[in-house]
Structure 1
């Protein structure tokens, strides 16, 4: 039977090679201008296989522009190097296809990689159960709520199976319960996914819970105010949120933000 676990076995093995320290994405002295407006000013960072980094900053500070630069969607100055077979991307606003049903939307990345349609749909169907979408497989995206569309978009990004995964406010349009469920799912499955993940968020708790490192960005133009390493052991669980280390990190991040 087709399964999510089997799909990512190879990524799991590759993710354990983090010690080789070959960055999946390297960004060096990134500058982005929109006409005369400087949006990003001199950002530099690296992310490695098996690692999650967060770009944490206020709304409108240029976080999404950094993601678009990595994707090659905007002009920029500086250097961006990518090492991997490809990039999976979940934008803030979903790009689901309204003429396809939900299951076909989710399985599309697998089909584009050469999987047979029925196998691809089987893998996607398994994930629908995990994300509370069972029974909605034949619905069109316009028939789903905003939160359901967000979950569908997340499944499609995960099933892209890429070496690099870019998540732009991935849980911003869901309710608090669903947001926590998705955070816990991602935390449990990070080793299985194995690739490098760059996540954009303005949620401090989310950044700490999911990340290995957090880059705190200033207001526009975005600059790195501080890089904070998150020493919490993996896998992380609900108890992590109430731990003394978590509280200390939250205070540290807040002090940088409001300094």
Structure 2
């Protein structure tokens, strides 16, 4: 998965092309489809198509309805993907595979369940994730390739906290930028379906940023005050910090003093590192 995300949402691949190889059914790769998730996935696909516009070079379509021109999307049961995966673009099929059940579990893990959380529109959030995947499709072959047997992204995961810039992080940031710029461009169509859908996605991302901050400041108060690396640095070498990614996306979509100050404050804590206390020995 692109960790949002842990994509993180935080949270985040394969070499996909507009003309994907024949792939009539995920069961051909031993996967189990989740037809009950077609409704939310179909709604997110339509929203993503609306944001990209009628002249988009990349077309996303629901693969369960049959073969079309573009990149197919399939919904899978939670046990069909690796534990850390929510959504991803895969080499074997040139398609996007997702699990809404995994999305729910991921949100709980990233946002927590304490007080002060907003209820996020799941369809709009999934729409942004699909736009992120479209960004990987637009990049073509990248170091972020995923394979169902374990691809580049999963093979290089390192649990150590870091701020190392890797090729995988670069292509994740590029996919975030593609998605954010698509939403920002759609927002210019005020009053139209395109503009309204883009506004819904922008709101969902703002709510996700709020919830991530709530978990950091309320649930992990002490770590936040001390600027713990576990909150501000990257977990692994494949994806940047989820909260940083969402704050960056918000600043790109709706650049204003508030979004820029929130991003700058997070980046300051991220770069300056933890506060070290000097304790005097007892007299």
Q: Normalising by the residue count of structure 1, what TM-score does the alignment of the two structures yield? A: 0.30
Q: For CA contacts below 8 A with separation 6 or more, give which structure has more relative contact order.
A: 1
Identify, as 1 or 2, the structure richer in strand: 1
**Higher-Rg member (1/2):** 2
Identify, as 1 or 2, the structure richer in helix: 2
